[in-house]
Amino acid sequence: MDLVTGIYRQTREFPKEETYGLTSQIRRAAVSIPSNIAEGCARKSKKEQDQYIYVARASLSELETHLEIARRLEYLTDVRHSELLEVCKRLSALIDGLLGS
């Protein structure tokens, strides 16, 4: 959830012409991560749970790609990009832990 709020704050500074482009894609990918984790944890079977956790992991990978695009377009500074990727890295470890449990 902290990643989502950080993403929303950061993307407020993106150019207005990106509102329905990269900004929207970044936000949707970020929101998808905790949403799928929550839905997966509400499922009864381990197989169903894992399916949603894998979708969350895929959304995280998508988010990382979008952040790299934003950095290359200079919508994110190198420092902010690195900070967000560090959060993504920690979240990836947590997701792997969920899959292993």
Tokens representing 60 are: 């995280």
Helices marked H in 18-100: 22-41, 46-72, 78-100
pLDDT at position 100, please? 86
Stated pTM of the model: 0.92
Domain that holds residue 49: 2-100
- CATH number of the domain that residue 42 is part of: 1.20.1440.60
- pLDDT band at residue 101 using 50, 70 and 90 as cut-offs: confident
pLDDT digits (tens, 9 = 90+) for 25-79: 999 999 999 999 999 989 989 999 999 999 999 999 999 999 999 999 999 999 9
pLDDT at position 48, please? 93
Q: How many domains does the chain have?
A: 1
